[in-house]
Structure 1
Amino acid sequence: MLQLLRASYLLGLLMLAQPAAAEKLRLVADAWPPFTDATMVNGGLATELVTTALARAGYASDFEQVPWARALLGIDEGRYDVLVNAWYNDERTRIGQFSGSYLQNKIRFIKRKESPITFNGDLSVLYPYPISIVRGYAYSGEFDNDNQLQKVPVHNFSMAVRMLAADRVKLTLEDEYVARYYLSRETPRVRNAVEFLPQALSVNNLHILVSLKTPGHEKIVAGFNKAIDAMKADGSYDRLMKRYGM
């Protein structure tokens, strides 16, 4: 009888644990340090902000790092629940719900140092030049929708900037913090060959994107937004930013 009661107790615990496991959100992002990177402490600044806010909202989470195109496809298909690092564009609202903004990214063009290319906000002056871009990224509405720009899709920023240093393209672009992080890890030949153009293309707000196939996606977004506001109010947001040198 005692063994039967013990077995029933253990079975009850397992049944109680199942809903909790089902509630664990599957977070995804590509390698985009210092914002998202599985090799960094707590996955980088954006990953830590997102997991902390979701935990405050009552959601446990697991994080997986995959290439950007696979991350978007996974959100579309419902294999992942939350894309950690999404810039807004209308097309993505077809597959997920955006949160409010929780970070900002300043997107700047990069050229070879000896290049005479300038940028004053008018994209038409860049029409003659091949520009390496990361496949699947959204940079700004105007840039993304301008079909006269010579865009050369590549897998990641490291490939893009190496093509630029080798003079295979004339420009690339990236968030300034991300670009400086990667450039600091490039060879001197690459790092010393390129420089930022002074004027930013855009300042983009960073959001989470919650898959429309995730049950309760609206509740997740609302809880996340409320938690971010609370973190800003109690100072924990600023403390985390300072820890990453932001």
Structure 2
Amino acid sequence: MKRLLATVFTLLLISSGMTYAEKITAINDTWAPFISPDLPGQGIALQIVRAAFKEQGHEVEMTFVPWARSIKSVKEGRVDILVGTWWTKERSTFLNYSDDYLVNNIKFIKRADDSFEFDGLDSLNRKNIGIIRDYGYDDEFKNAVNFKKIATSNLINNLKKLTHNRIDLTLEDEIVARAFIKNEAPELKDKISFSTTPLSSNTLHITSGLKNPKSKRIIADFNKGLEKIKNNGVYDSILKTNGLM
């Protein structure tokens, strides 16, 4: 009898379009103010992602580890989603992408006394540019050979190299970089400035590994939830609370 009732309930859920409540495992590196264990709701991006999944009855369980380990875990299907991912052609071969939920303006960071302004890749000729290993920079930028790209594991390393004249430029989402400097390295505030023109404007997505058998359903549920919170005002409320509107 119990088995029969369970089967009937399952059929009712399917016919009504309801979804099963599920725990979604998520992973990412710390990337304040979008993703951080030290911020309200663990950051703007996680507030949006959790709200979208909540609309579908799902709970998000978050783990913070370095980026290279994060993307490997999702690629191999051991964790359900990366919270914040930029699109690249390479990543699309092993990740399913959601609809975008934020936009990041990636700008060059220079020393405060540097008159440099970004005006296309030719303006980077013979520059030494600090990048972060395995980040999803614009493909044209990654493939360019008219400047040198020097990889490290995080933003603070690049900022220190920049202010000590060991590199000419670095780059990061402007909101992320300003938040990091304000909270973690305020002594650098007056030592750096940002280019006016961004290298790129990158849309932000959650992603799930193609090897994960739940991948398509997870992404579909997120997209449905995202549409709902955009329609019911929750999305705009999150942006306003975090000073993005």
- The normalised TM-score by structure 1 is 0.87
Alpha-carbon distance between aligned partners in 2 of 1:33 and 1:189, rounded to the nearest angstrom: 18
Tell me the SS of whatever aligns to 1:172: strand
Does structure 2 retain, via aligned residues, the 8 Å contact 1:112–1:165? yes
Q: Pick which of 109-118 and 85-94 moved more.
A: 109-118
Q: Name which of 103, 128, 145 aligns with 1:130.
A: 128
Alpha-carbon distance between aligned partners in 1 of 2:187 and 2:98, rounded to the nearest angstrom: 40
Q: Which residue of 2 aligns with 1:164?
A: 162
User: Where in structure 2 are the equivalents of 1:65-84 lying within 5 Å?
Assistant: 65-84=64-83
Tell me the SS of whatever aligns to 1:213: coil
Q: Which residue of 2 aligns with 1:102?
A: 101
Does structure 2 retain, via aligned residues, the 8 Å contact 1:75–1:95? no
Does structure 1 retain, via aligned residues, the 8 Å contact 2:111–2:192? yes
Amino acid at match of 1:234: N
Alpha-carbon distance between aligned partners in 1 of 2:53 and 2:184, rounded to the nearest angstrom: 34
Q: How many residues align?
A: 225
Q: Which residue of 2 aligns with 1:61?
A: 60
Q: Which residue of 2 aligns with 1:182?
A: 180
Task: Give the gaps of 5 or more residues in structure 2.
Answer: 1-19
User: Where in structure 2 are the equivalents of 1:207-246 lying within 5 Å?
Assistant: 207-246=205-244
Structure 1 pair 223/166, CA: closer, same or farther in 2 (3 Å)? same
Q: Cα deviations across residues 127-150 of structure 1 (Å, max 9, x unaligned)?
A: 211111111111222212223331
Structure 1 pair 25/187, CA: closer, same or farther in 2 (3 Å)? closer
RMSD of aligned residue pairs (Cα, Å)? 1.6
Quote how far apart the aligned CAs of 1:188 are: 5.0
Alpha-carbon distance between aligned partners in 2 of 1:188 and 1:40, rounded to the nearest angstrom: 18
Quote how far apart the aligned CAs of 1:189 are: 4.2
Tell me the SS of whatever aligns to 2:68: helix
Q: Cα deviations across residues 102-123 of structure 1 (Å, max 9, x unaligned)?
A: 1000111011122232211x11
Tell me the SS of whatever aligns to 1:199: coil
Quote how far apart the aligned CAs of 1:186 are: 4.6
Q: Cα deviations across residues 33-53 of structure 1 (Å, max 9, x unaligned)?
A: 000001112110001111221
Q: Cα deviations across residues 166-213 of structure 1 (Å, max 9, x unaligned)?
A: 111010011010010011135454221110011111111000011222
Structure 1 pair 214/117, CA: closer, same or farther in 2 (3 Å)? same
Structure 1 pair 78/147, CA: closer, same or farther in 2 (3 Å)? farther
Structure 1 pair 207/187, CA: closer, same or farther in 2 (3 Å)? closer
Q: Which residue of 2 aligns with 1:199?
A: 197
Q: Which residue of 2 aligns with 1:153?
A: 151
